[in-house]
Amino acid sequence: MYSLQQDLSQLTVGTPTTFRNLTLFPLLRPAPAYAEPDYQLAEDAMVQGLAQITELADGGSVPELRLETTRPMRSSYSMEKN
């Protein structure tokens, strides 16, 4: 079972960085430092053929779109990638 307290207890405080009157203390966690996110960008899902975005019935507008998935997938978020 996931425990936030357990996760936070593994953090260590790194070397602070100061700029003018601001000091930042990085919070570091043990390896693996990168965990695969449990979501997928809608753009990536569409490229992989896992999702399709269509308008609702005739007269639909941009805020009223439908996300259809072709098979089970991770949570999906529509974001612009840079």
CA distances (Å), origin 49, targets 32, 55, 60, 62, 80:
30, 18, 23, 22, 18
The number of beta carbons lying within 10 Å of the beta carbon of residue 53 is: 13
Query: Could you report the per-residue pLDDT of 11-51, keeping only the tens digit for each?
Result: 999 999 999 999 999 998 877 656 666 777 888 888 988 88
pLDDT band at 81 (very low <50, low <70, confident <90, very high): very low
Query: Could you report the per-residue pLDDT of 69-80, keeping only the tens digit for each?
Result: 876 655 555 544
Using alpha carbons only, what angle is made at residue 66 by residues 61 and 67, rounded to the nearest 5 degrees? 140
Cβ–Cβ under 8 Å, residues 68 and 52? yes
pLDDT at 24: 96
Query: Could you report the per-residue pLDDT of 55-65, keeping only the tens digit for each?
Result: 777 666 666 77
